[in-house]
C-alpha cells in the first residue's frame, strides 16, 4: 500500500482510539511531534511506538529540535542549548562544536524513537531578518552558513537521525513571520543566486528538505515558494535538490484558503509531501483526503532518504562528545544543560545562606551587616563610632570570596554597605534646612523595611527549594484513559421549513414598518364627506356634472395632490353609486365621467 503524501501530528501526549483509526486509514508517510505531545522519555517512546503501530510500518517520526529557541525537548530531562547564531559567536565559528551538538541531539532523539529532525536551518541572517528566525540561523554569509549547516547535518546523520534542510530556497531576507503573515522578497534573481540560494545548492545532496512560505518577486510574484511551480522547478533544476521535499506547516497563516486547498496547490506545484502540524483532526482529515497517495517520484525519493536511517541507533560516547564540546566552548558548558541535578535539602540551603552572610568586625560592633542596620535603626548601636574605612575593607574581602559563587549576593551587600555609609554621613553632618530629602531616621526606617522584604524572599525561596520535586521525590501517575465523545446530528426539517427559516433570518433585521406622508394623500373618507355635503345641499337640482367639479379647489394646483384627490373622489363616487345615492355616466371612451344625485334612492 502506498503511503499518503502527508506528515501529520496528533493532539496530545497519548494517541486516542479515534486518532489511531484515522491514521490507519490516512496512512501518512510520517508523523511530527510538538511540546504538547512530550512529557517524559517513557511516554514519548510509547507514543512513537503507537504512531507506527497505527500505520503498521516503521514510519518516520519528525521533530523540531534545532536547539535554542526552537526546541521541543527541554530541561531538566534533556539538554538545553544556545541559539545557533549565539553559539557560533561564542565558539568563534566552530563547526566542530555544531557537529558535536547535533550528534548529542541525535542521541537523545533516537533514544525516544524519533528519527528525523527538522534541521539544519540554512537561511542567511541579515539585518532585516525577522526576529522569529534570525538567531536560529548559523551565520550572516553564505560560506559560514553552508559549512555550519553541513556540520549539523553530518552530526545528526552520525547519531542515526535524518536531517531536514530548511527553508528552501531561503527565508533570510523575509521581514515578516510566516507563521502569521506572508513575507515577500523583492531582491533580483542574480542577488539571490549569489547569496540566499548558495547554501541550499551546496546542501542539495541532503535527503530531506522543507519549503519556505515566502514570495519571491523575481521568480513568481503571485505565489509563495510552497505553491509556486516556477520556484519549485528552480529548486529542482538550478539548486539541484534531489531529496524528498515537504512543505513547511501547511496550517501557517502565510497561506490563504482552506488547508485542503493549500495542500492540493502544494502538491500540484511540485512538493512531495504536505506537513500538517497543529493536530486538529478535521484539518488533518481534509489534508489527507486532498493529497491522496504519494507519487512515484516521491516514493523513490523517500526510499533513498530512509535508506540513510540505520535500524539501530549508533553507539555514541556522549560523555566524550560533551567533554569535547565543553572544551571548544572555552571550558564552560556554553549553554548546554547536563541533565537533572540533585537539589539540596532545607538544611543545606540554610547552611549555605549562613555561609554567605557578611559578618563584620569593626570598632563598636561585631556581627552580620543586616543586623547592624537593624540595631542602628533602633539606636542600640551608635553609627558615629563605626569606621566606614574598616567596613569598606571587610566588604571588599567578602566580595572577593563570594563573587565566584553568586555575583548578585555581592551586589546585595554592596547596596547595604552604601546605605550604611550614607546613613552615617547624614547623622554626622548637620542637617541642611534647604534640603527637601528624607531625614536620616526616615532613610534608616526605609532600609530596614527593604531588608525585611529581602529576608522574606530568601526564606520563601528556601522553602520552595526544599519542597519535593516531581521526578525526584515523587512521580507522576499514568495518563488517564481518554473519554471519547461521539456527536451525531440529525435534521428533520423539510425544504419548506429551511426556506422559511432562511427567510426569517434574512428579513429579521431588514423589516421596517412603512409610514407614509399623509399630507399629499386625499383619503376616501375625505372624498365621501365632501360629496355628501355637495349632493345634500341642492345636489338634486344641479343635474349631471363632471366628476372634476367635485374636486377640492386647494388640491388642483399640485399634480400629485390632484391625482390623489381625483382617485379618492372617483372611489367615493363608486361607493355612493353602489349605495344608490347617485347615477354615473360616460358618453364615450375616455370621455369625462358625469354624476348626478338621485331624488329617490332605488
In whole angstroms, what is the distance from residue 259 CA to residue 75 CA? 34
Instruction: Indicate the pLDDT class of residue 338, thresholds 50, 70 and 90.
Output: very low
**Considering only 10-19, 179-188, 550-559, which range has the smallest mean pLDDT?**
550-559
Distance between start and end Cα atoms, the chain: 99
Residue numbers annotated as active site: 179, 248
Segment 386-404, tens digit of pLDDT: 666 666 666 666 666 555 5
Cβ-count burial of 514 within 10 angstroms (0-12 exposed, 13-18 middle, 19+ buried)?
exposed
Segment 168-185, tens digit of pLDDT: 999 999 999 999 999 999
**Considering only 95-109, 299-313, 586-600, which range has the smallest mean pLDDT?**
586-600
Q: Which residues contact 366 (CB under 8 A, 6 or more apart)?
A: 359, 360
Q: Assess whether pLDDT exceeds 80 at residue 530.
A: yes
Instruction: Indicate the pLDDT class of residue 488, thresholds 50, 70 and 90.
Output: confident
Identify the CATH homologous superfamily for domain 518-597. Structural maintenance of chromosome 1. Chain E (1.10.10.580)
**CATH fold for the domain made of 86-327:** TIM Barrel (3.20.20)
In whole angstroms, what is the distance from residue 600 CA to residue 578 CA? 14
As a residue count, the chain comes to 602
Q: Calculate what percentage of the chain has a pLDDT beyond 70.
A: 74
Compare 332 and 519 and report the one with higher pLDDT: 519
Q: Which residues contact 319 (CB under 8 A, 6 or more apart)?
A: none
Q: Which residues contact 519 (CB under 8 A, 6 or more apart)?
A: none
Domain with CATH 3.20.20.300 in the chain: 86-327
Instruction: Report the pLDDT value the prediction gives residue 532, as an integer from 0 to 100.
Output: 87
Give whole-number Cα distances, 304 to 190, 208, 418, in Å: 32, 10, 69
Compare 517 and 211 and report the one with higher pLDDT: 211
Q: Specify the pTM.
A: 0.58
Give me the chain's average pLDDT, please: 84
Instruction: Report the pLDDT value the prediction gives residue 442, as an integer from 0 to 100.
Output: 67
Residue 6: strand, helix, or coil: strand
Domain with CATH 1.10.10.580 in the chain: 518-597
Q: Which residues contact 338 (CB under 8 A, 6 or more apart)?
A: 79, 322
Segment 447-465, tens digit of pLDDT: 667 667 777 777 777 777 7
Amino acid at each position: 500500500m502506498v503511503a499518503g503524501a502527508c506528515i501529520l501530528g496528533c493532539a496530545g501526549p497519548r494517541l486516542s482510539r479515534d486518532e489511531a483509526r484515522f491514521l490507519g486509514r490516512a496512512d501518512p508517510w510520517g508523523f511530527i511531534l510538538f511540546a504538547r505531545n512530550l512529557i517524559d522519555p517513557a511516554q514519548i517512546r510509547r507514543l512513537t511506538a503507537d504512531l507506527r503501530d497505527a500505520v503498521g510500518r516503521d514510519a518516520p517520526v519528525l521533530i523540531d529540535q534545532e536547539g535554542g529557541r526552537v526546541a521541543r525537548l527541554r530541561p531538566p530531562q534533556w539538554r538545553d542549548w544556545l541559539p545557533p547564531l549565539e553559539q557560533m559567536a561564542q565558539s568563534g565559528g566552530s563547526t566542530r562544536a555544531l557537529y558535536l551538538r547535533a550528534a548529542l541531539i541525535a542521541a537523545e532523539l533516537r533514544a525516544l524513537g524519533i528519527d528525523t529532525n527538522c534541521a539544519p536551518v540554512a537561511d542567511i541572517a541579515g539585518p532585516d531578518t525577522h526576529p522569529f528566525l534570525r538567531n536560529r540561523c548559523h551565520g550572516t554569509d553564505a560560506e559560514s552558513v553552508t559549512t555550519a549547516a553541513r556540520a549539523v547535518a553530518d552530526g545528526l546523520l552520525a547519531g542515526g537521525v535524518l536531517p531536514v534542510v530548511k527553508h528552501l530556497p531561503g527565508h533570510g531576507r523575509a521581514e515578516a513571520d510566516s507563521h502569521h503573515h506572508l513575507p515577500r522578497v523583492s531582491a533580483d534573481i542574480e542577488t539571490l543566486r549569489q547569496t540566499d540560494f548558495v547554501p541550499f545548492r551546496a546542501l542539495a545532496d541532503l535527503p530531506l528538505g522543507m519549503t519556505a512560505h515566502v514570495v519571491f518577486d523575481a521568480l513568481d510574484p503571485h505565489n509563495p515558494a510552497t505553491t509556486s511551480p516556477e520556484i519549485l522547478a528552480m529548486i529542482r533544476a538550478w539548486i539541484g535538490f534531489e531529496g524528498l521535499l515537504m512543505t513547511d506547516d501547511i496550517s501557517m497563516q502565510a497561506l490563504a484558503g482552506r488547508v485542503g486547498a493549500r495542500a492540493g496547490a502544494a502538491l500540484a506545484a511540485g512538493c512531495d509531501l504536505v506537513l500538517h502540524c497543529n493536530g486538529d483532526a478535521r484539518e488533518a482529515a481534509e489534508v489527507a483526503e486532498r493529497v491522496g497517495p504519494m507519487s512515484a517520484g516521491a516514493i523513490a525519493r523517500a526510499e533513498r532518504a530512509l535508506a540513510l536511517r540505520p535500524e539501530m541507533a549508533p553507539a555514541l560516547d556522549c560523555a566524550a562528545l560533551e567533554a569535547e564540546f565543553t572544551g571548544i566552548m572555552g571550558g564552560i558548558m556554553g549553554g548546554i544543560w547536563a541533565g537533572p541535578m540533585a537539589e539540596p535539602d532545607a538544611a543545606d540551603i540554610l547552611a549555605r545562606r549562613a555561609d554567605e552572610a557578611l559578618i563584620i568586625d569593626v570598632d563598636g560592633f561585631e556581627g552580620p551587616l543586616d543586623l547592624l542596620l537593624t540595631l542602628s535603626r533602633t539606636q542600640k548601636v551608635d553609627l558615629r563610632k563605626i569606621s566606614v574605612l574598616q567596613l569598606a575593607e571587610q566588604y571588599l574581602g567578602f566580595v572577593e570570596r563570594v563573587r565566584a559563587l553568586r555575583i548578585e549576593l555581592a551586589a546585595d551587600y554592596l547596596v547595604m554597605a552604601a546605605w550604611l555609609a550614607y546613613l552615617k554621613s547624614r547623622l554626622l553632618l548637620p542637617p541642611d534646612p534647604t534640603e527637601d530629602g528624607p531625614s536620616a531616621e526616615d532613610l534608616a526606617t526605609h532600609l530596614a523595611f527593604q531588608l525585611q522584604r529581602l529576608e522574606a524572599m530568601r526564606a520563601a525561596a528556601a522553602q520552595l527549594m526544599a519542597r519535593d520535586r516531581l521526578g525526584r521525590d515523587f512521580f507522576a501517575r499514568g495518563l488517564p484513559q481518554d473519554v471519547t465523545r461521539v456527536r451525531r446530528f440529525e435534521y428533520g426539517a423539510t425544504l419548506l421549513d429551511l426556506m422559511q427559516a432562511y427567510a426569517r433570518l434574512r428579513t429579521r433585521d431588514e423589516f421596517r414598518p412603512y409610514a407614509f406622508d399623509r399630507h399629499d394623500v386625499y383619503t376616501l373618507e375625505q372624498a365621501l364627506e365632501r360629496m355628501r355635503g355637495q349632493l345634500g345641499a341642492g345636489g338634486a337640482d344641479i343635474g349631471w356634472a363632471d366628476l372634476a367639479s367635485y374636486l377640492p379647489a386647494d388640491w388642483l394646483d399640485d399634480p400629485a395632490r390632484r391625482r390623489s384627490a381625483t382617485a379618492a373622489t372617483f372611489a367615493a363616487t363608486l361607493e355612493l353609486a353602489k349605495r344608490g345615492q347617485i347615477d354615473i355616466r360616460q358618453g364615450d371612451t375616455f370621455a369625462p365621467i358625469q354624476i348626478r344625485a338621485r331624488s329617490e334612492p332605488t
